Amino acid sequence: MSVVNPAYATGVPAMMNFGGLYRTQWVGAVGAPKTFTFFGHTAISDKVEAGLSFISDDIGDGVKKENNIYADFAYVLKLGGKNKLSLGLKAGLSSMQTNFNGFKFNDPATDMAFAENINATKPNIGVGAYYFRDNLYVGLSVPNLLKTKYIEEKSGVNAFGSENIHTFLTAGYVFQVNNMWKVKPAFMTKFVKGAPISIDLTANVLYNEKFELGAAYRIDDSVSALFNFNVTPTLRVGYAYDYTLTNLGQFNSGTHEIMLLFDLDLLGKGFDKSPRFF
């Protein structure tokens, strides 16, 4: 969550969370994207939380590589009762490298964006807001406020590697079915100028605070299923599979994700027997 919203907060002081995710998309398609994500997050006090995230993308087997490293800062306001509002700021760097060596074009003059390799680094900032209590969260964030162009427009040809501003709206609610079962419906909506709105609908169930199953539907795009479980009280391992519903599904066998989550208790006070389910 902190990767897209810097205001994400756990509300658990002295508990440090680490996570890693490897995603290989559209398996079987030539040059399909691969992504590695790492993040760390901790509550420094009951009002201040901080985090660090690193995202590495590889598209085209080295044709385009992008790395993003960001630091997050969140300030948590108590609204009364168990209601809290967190305001967050994200700042960092995005770098992109391309390798067009060996590309062949019918008319190089019309492919000016591919005329030279790119090796550039750009700064960026993001903001977010996150309202939460024990069984509910709502978030709104813009993780990249600065529109990035790695090549300016040349002779009417659009810039290659431009990144438009992304806006995310997220929400989820946890139903306590009984002492053993929890159910969490949630959604995430992404807005990008010039692109269709992306809407993800998800439903997860948690059994005995150890085993989680989930399903998701990205409207007019894909369906997915996930499973994760606690190997130990501090280590969680997960796997997810996406199946493409568009015509692209004819050319790949799906998308795979592997996830690791680790909690570090800095003060040795022990772990909450009923952790928050988001």
Domains and CATH numbers, the chain: 15-142+225-265 (2.40.160)
Summarised one tens digit per residue, pLDDT across range 54-98 is: 999 999 888 889 999 999 999 999 998 889 999 999 999 999 888
Bridge partners of 128, per DSSP, are 88, 141
> How much is the average pLDDT of 236-260?
93
Task: Return the percentage of the chain with pLDDT > 70, whole number.
Answer: 85
47 burial (CB, 10 Å; 0-12 / 13-18 / 19+) is middle
> How much is the average pLDDT of 220-249?
94
* Non-local CB neighbours of 159 within 8 Å, separated by 6+ positions: 113, 149, 150, 151, 152, 153
Q: What is the CA radius of gyration of the chain?
A: 20
pLDDT level of residue 149 (50, 70, 90 thresholds): low
Which string of b and e fits 214-224 if b means at least 16 CB within 10 Å? bebbbeebbeb
> How much is the average pLDDT of 237-252?
92
> How much is the average pLDDT of 129-140?
95
pLDDT at 76 (0 to 100): 95
Neighbour count for residue 169 (Cβ, 10 Å): 15
Bridge partners of 160, per DSSP, are none
> How much is the average pLDDT of 142-152?
75
